[in-house]
Amino acid sequence: MFSINTLSPSRSDYLLATVLRLCAVLSGVVLLLVVVFLVQEAFPALRHVGLVRLFTDDSWHPTEGLYNLLPMLWGTMLVTIGAVSLAAPLAILSAMFCQFYAPVSLARWYRRLIELLAGIPSVVYGFWGLVVLVPMIGNLHPPGPSLLAGMVVLAIMILPTIALLMEASLAAVPQEYLHGALALGLRRWTMIRNIVLPAARSGLFASAVLGVGRALGETMAVLMVCGNVVQIPHSVFAPVRTLTANIALEIAYAFGTHRSALFASGILLLLIVLGIVVVADAVKPRWTYGE
Amino acid sequence: MKVGLVQEEGRTWSSYTTSSLPSDTRDAHICAAQLNVWYGDKLALHDVTLAVDRGTIAAVVGPSGCGKTSFLMCINRLTDMIPRCRVSGALHLDHLNLMSPTIDVLALRRRVGMVFQKPNPFPLSVWDNLALPLKEHGVRKRDELRQRIETVLREVGLWNDVKDRLGHSALALSGGQQQRVCLARALVLSPEVLLLDEPCSSLDPLSSGMIEDLIVSLRGRLTIVIVTHHLAQARRIADSVAVFWAQAGAGWLVESGPTQQIFDSPQHPITAAYIQGHRG
Ligand SMILES: Nc1ncnc2c1ncn2[C@@H]1O[C@H](COP(=O)(O)OP(=O)(O)OP(=O)(O)O)[C@@H](O)[C@H]1O
Ligand SMILES: [Mg+2]
């Protein structure tokens, strides 16, 4: 990058750069404050209960001094993994359809529809899950509110976003590759499988990671359909409680160490997201082949 | 349809050209008559009538935006993939009617290779760049793949450069080498026609010269249509030249004929001025 000085900018350039820098600093400070606040609030729990007991206690009964977060951690992980593994393949198919198979006019309408879906508030998806999906699952295998319901609702919720992002990464594959492939008489599917998907894989991967982030943080929809029983589920039909749902359910009446433990679970969520970002960055497929 | 008419009255349309066609049109490999190309409502190519003999090199020259690329893309039906692009008129490859909606375009594109202005090797290894089209068209045996890939890489003069790194990314090669990979990729399917869209325009003189030599060495074996902005290059390598021009946004064919004739005794004032301009 050029430094400001070498470009000898005009006054307005300088002003803009200063404003932008201030904004960047501000957002950094806000993040830092959030972390400091979380740690401060979680500190009593970490001191009185200790890190180890947060994972080894017999159960989560804060009123009786038992603080095991593990079942909720499992709940969060399973719901998220399930939702993303349901949504990602569908999103790829949707993106391929929109980009390579649908006629131009249909693709335009289809894209608008997905944009619309991506804008629906999560509570509406939760509502749908509660009224339609949960009874269906209940018929299949009682009780109904379950890990499966959470996975499906979350998957449907993150699907539009991932699909849009994935389509954008397919669209970013240089036209020259496509022309080259078509001029060689490659079939459309050969072109997509051998050229487009490999070329777009880092973008596709990043889209899925973003979906993971959204699924992890989602609270309302999962709270409405998962049953919220604190347990490590033994089947997809068992009710579960996620970390986020736990915070939302209990923060209103929690005090003392209990309240502090909820903040500790917030830190745990933060660490998971951080871990995913780091891992995703490390295993991210490269844009070009073999370089 | 007009198409049938042209085929039956094979010679009638030659009167549309401003000068005589390269030679007897019944031998022509590629035959275009009153070819029009529209992008939406915009006429990009108007009434082009042109024949290219089998095994010869035809150069297409003209200013930017006069429809040279559009003309090439009709011959391998790449126009199909451009939304709102429409082609009318008659176009034949041998006896195959290229205007027919029912022809097998994949088979056609196997017979008609194309190299683009900007080198566009796939973001795969050199080997995969060449093996992909071969596999797609039914060559599966590893021995045969290897042998055909080696042959074609030798032909484009790239074998010694890349034989030890066939597994490396083609994007790691220099621009000239990349363009030769693209040429190899087009040749590996043994096409009968090769369309070259300004293949040397982004290359240095040395790489450009290598590609030019290669094109000349293919004379007789393939029919080549090359778009070029270098009149000198057209003069050196082409058997016949077609001069396109743009008027009110629509491209049209000013004049076509044997190279010698176009350069030494142009019939049309535009051709004369164009050639003059490049001389002066
Ligand atoms: N995909 C497209 N959509 C709309 N118009 C197009 C498209 N491709 C080309 N055109 C138009 O058609 C005309 C001819 O374009 P073409 O690319 O065939 O010209 P060209 O002779 O190859 O030019 P150049 O020498 O710059 O490559 C131009 O006016 C161009 O704007
Ligand atoms: Mg062009």
Q: What amino acid is encoded at A69 in this protein?
A: L
Q: What is the pLDDT of residue A6?
A: 56
Contacts of A195 in chain B (CB under 8 A): 122-124, 132
pLDDT at position A7 is: 56
- Residues in B 157-176 with any Cβ partner in A closer than 8 A: 167-169, 171-172
* pLDDT per residue as tens digits for the range B222-256: 999 999 988 999 999 999 999 999 988 889 999 99
Does the structure show a pLDDT above 90 at B121?
yes
Q: Give percent above pLDDT 70 in chain A.
A: 95
Alpha helices per DSSP H over chain A: 11-48, 53-56, 70-96, 104-118, 122-128, 134-140, 147-171, 175-183, 188-191, 197-217, 220-225, 243-250, 256-283
Coil, strand or helix at B48: strand
B30 burial type by CB count under 10 A (0-12 exposed, 13-18 middle, 19+ buried): buried
To which H or E segment does residue B208 belong?
Answer: helix B205-217
Residue type, B116: F
Are A180 and B109 inside 8 Å of each other by CB? Answer: no
Tell me, what amino acid is at A52?
V
> Does the pLDDT at position B280 exceed 60?
no
Pairing outcome for strands A66-67 and B240-247: unpaired
Q: Are B36 and B47 in contact (CB under 8 A)?
A: yes
Local structure of B167: helix, strand or coil: coil
Confidence band for B279, pLDDT divided at 50, 70 and 90: low
What ligand is nearest to the CA atom of residue B65?
1
Strand, helix or coil for residue A146: coil
Mean pLDDT, chain A, integer: 90
Q: Which of A176, A183, A289 comes nearest B78 by C-beta?
A: A183
| pLDDT band at A11; cut points 50, 70, 90 | confident
- B78, B83, B168: residue with CB nearest A182: B78
For residues B32 and B16, give the distance between their C-alpha atoms in angstroms, rounded to a whole number.
11
d(C-alpha B39, C-alpha B45), whole Å: 9
Helix, strand, coil: what percent of chain B each, to 5?
40, 25, 30
Residues lying with their CB under 5 A of ligand 2, a single-atom ion = B 69
The pLDDT score that the predictor gives to residue A8 is 61
The most confident of the ranges A47-51, B21-25, B180-184 is: B180-184
Identity of the amino acid at A275: G
Q: CA-to-CA distance for B8 and A104, rounded, in angstroms?
A: 38
CB-CB contact of B77 with B20 (8 Å): no
pLDDT digits (tens, 9 = 90+) for B143-187: 999 999 999 999 888 999 898 999 999 999 988 899 999 999 999
Beta bridge partners of B97: B92
Span A217-221, average pLDDT:
91
Tokens of A273: 């997201």
**Which of A180, A185, A288 is the closest to B116 by Cβ?**
A180
The whole-number average pLDDT for the span B86-111 is 92
**Strand pairing partners for B193?**
B112, B223
- Which pLDDT score, from 0 to 100, does residue A272 have? 92
- The stretch A204-231 carries a mean pLDDT of 92
Helix (H) or strand (E) holding B37, with range, is: strand B28-39
Domains along the sequence of chain A with CATH: 70-243 (1.10.3720.10)
Mutate to test the interface with A, among B77, B106, B110, B122 (most CBs of A within 10 A): B122
Within 10 Å of residue B191's Cβ, how many Cβ atoms? Answer: 20
Confidence of residue A282 (pLDDT cuts 50, 70, 90): confident
CA distances from B54 to A188, B69, B189, B199 (A): 31, 21, 18, 21
Checking if the pLDDT of A289 tops 50, the result is no
Q: What are the start-end ranges of the H helices in A119-187?
A: 122-128, 134-140, 147-171, 175-183
pLDDT at B123 over 50: yes
**Distance linking the first and last C-alpha atoms of chain B:** 46
Element (H, E) at B277: helix B269-279
What are the angstrom distances between the C-alpha of A14 and each of A3, A8, A21, A26, A28?
Answer: 11, 9, 11, 18, 21
- Closest C-alpha to A154, from A98, A92, A94, A85: A85
Q: Which domains does chain B have, with CATH numbers?
A: 1-54+68-103+243-253+268-280 (no CATH), 105-238 (3.40.50.300)
CA angle B22, B67, B96 (to 5 degrees): 55
What does the block give as tokens for B99?
A: 């205007």
CA distance B171 to chain A (A): 8
Cis before residue A143, ω within 30 degrees of 0? yes
User: Coil, helix or strand for B238?
Assistant: coil
Query: Pick from A129, B186, B107: which is nearest to B199 by CA?
Result: B186
Indicate the pLDDT class of residue B278, thresholds 50, 70 and 90.
low
Specify whether the CB–CB gap between A146 and A239 falls below 8 A. Answer: yes
